[in-house]
């Protein structure tokens, strides 16, 4: 079932989208990042040219509260966008989970990890920490915390998820993830469930290598997908994919590149209508899928400097494949100077492939609809 079948696209929006330069149309589908604490000249040029619908920022972009606020204001000003009925809010996102995955600048403390709150059944403490994160984020100009993690820690040796999740059972994870999602939505923040179809049953880290989960479809339905389904029912607007291969469902493609997993199961079976966001396409799990071996880790490792030497010839191919599989937004988490190649690849594909261009129109309408939908809810 295509996006267009689920919602009618107004002719005025179609005319608006097709009136934009191809490179600006491509910007709908890309959330890049920046090199450092200051926006560079080339980054400014590309930000204004591509006009991405969002950005994702990391620890390397934050030095202090005042610096971070000025940086985000500059991003929004430089990116700009013409006034239109179909103007969408720009998403400025960070991975803010507490514990070891925290991006907010000093003097904010990174706080406790999700698992600690869940093991102590401390909803009050979790609420206090989350409201503090939201207060700081809003005052910086950030409107999405890319949280909660809804993976279920069923593999004890899984270090990439570990204490980032809320527990080892679907009941515990659902309870706490729902609590976080409701607070974020009530505070007019864009929430995000991650990492579909579940990364808690793997023994390897997809930042470093391709991860494989031998879980069955039956188990996924009874375990991993329970918290996802609950949050979908509670109108979570974003879901991030996992670069995880599940051979029983798709023996050839990790979830980010799998139409079976994203279209058949996440869209059709679970009924998700929001935005499917790829995890960082620069992770080694994706590079390995395209037969490229690298030593450089993804920029999720927050203190790593941007690398301009790593081999990323696969990236344009991966971007198109992810969009065809079902992703709406592509994360590629280094400087927009490096990620511009993705935007140009999408623009070129739309210009030369009418069916792909039509698919991108459907995605663009879904992006506009999702980002402008009123979803504030009461707890």
Catalytic residues: 207, 279
Count the Cβ atoms, other than its own, within 10 Å of residue 283.
28
Planar angle of CA 185, 189, 194, nearest 5 degrees: 80
Instruction: Look at residues 282, 292, 263 and name the one whose alpha carbon lies nearest to residue 342.
Output: 282
The dihedral region occupied by 98, where left means phi > 0, alpha psi between -120 and 50, and beta the remainder, is left
């Amino acid at each position: 079932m295509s996006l267009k079948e689920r919602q009618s696209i107004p002719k005025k929006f179609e005319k608006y989208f097709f009136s934009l330069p191809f490179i600006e149309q491509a910007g709908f589908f890309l959330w890049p990042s920046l090199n450092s604490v200051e926006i560079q000249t080339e980054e400014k040029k590309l930000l204004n040219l591509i006009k991405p619908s969002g950005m994702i920022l990391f620890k390397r972009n934050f030095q202090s509260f005042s610096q971070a606020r000025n940086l985000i204001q500059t991003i929004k000003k430089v990116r700009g966008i013409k006034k239109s009925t179909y103007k969408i809010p720009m998403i400025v996102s960070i991975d803010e989970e507490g514990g070891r995955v925290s991006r907010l600048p000093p003097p904010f403390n990174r706080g406790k990890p999700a698992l600690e709150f869940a093991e102590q059944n401390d909803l009050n403490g979790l609420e206090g920490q989350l409201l503090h994160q939201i207060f700081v984020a809003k005052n910086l100009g950030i409107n999405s915390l890319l949280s909660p993690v809804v993976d279920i820690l069923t593999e004890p040796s899984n270090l990439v998820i570990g204490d980032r999740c809320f527990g080892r059972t679907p009941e515990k994870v659902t309870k706490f993830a729902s609590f976080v999602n409701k607070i974020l939505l009530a505070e007019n923040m864009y929430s995000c469930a991650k990492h579909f179809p579940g990364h808690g049953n793997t023994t390897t880290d997809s930042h470093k290598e391709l991860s494989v989960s031998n879980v069955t479809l039956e188990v996924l339905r009874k375990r991993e997908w329970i918290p996802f389904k609950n949050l979908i029912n509670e109108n979570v607007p974003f879901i991030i994919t996992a670069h995880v291969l599940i051979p029983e469902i798709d023996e050839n493609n990790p979830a980010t590149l799998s139409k079976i997993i994203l279209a058949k199961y996440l869209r059709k079976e679970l009924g998700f209508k929001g935005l499917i966001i790829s995890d960082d396409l620069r992770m080694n799990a994706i590079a390995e899928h395209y037969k490229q071996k690298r030593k450089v880790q993804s920029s999720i490792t927050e203190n790593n400097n941007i690398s301009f030497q790593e081999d990323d010839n696969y990236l344009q191919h991966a971007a198109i494949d992810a969009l065809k599989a079902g992703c709406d937004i592509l994360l590629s988490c280094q400087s927009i100077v490096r990620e511009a190649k993705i935007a140009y690849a999408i623009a070129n594909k739309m210009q030369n492939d009418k069916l792909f261009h039509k698919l991108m129109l459907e995605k663009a309408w879904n992006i506009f609809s999702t980002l402008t939908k009123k979803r504030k809810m009461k707890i």
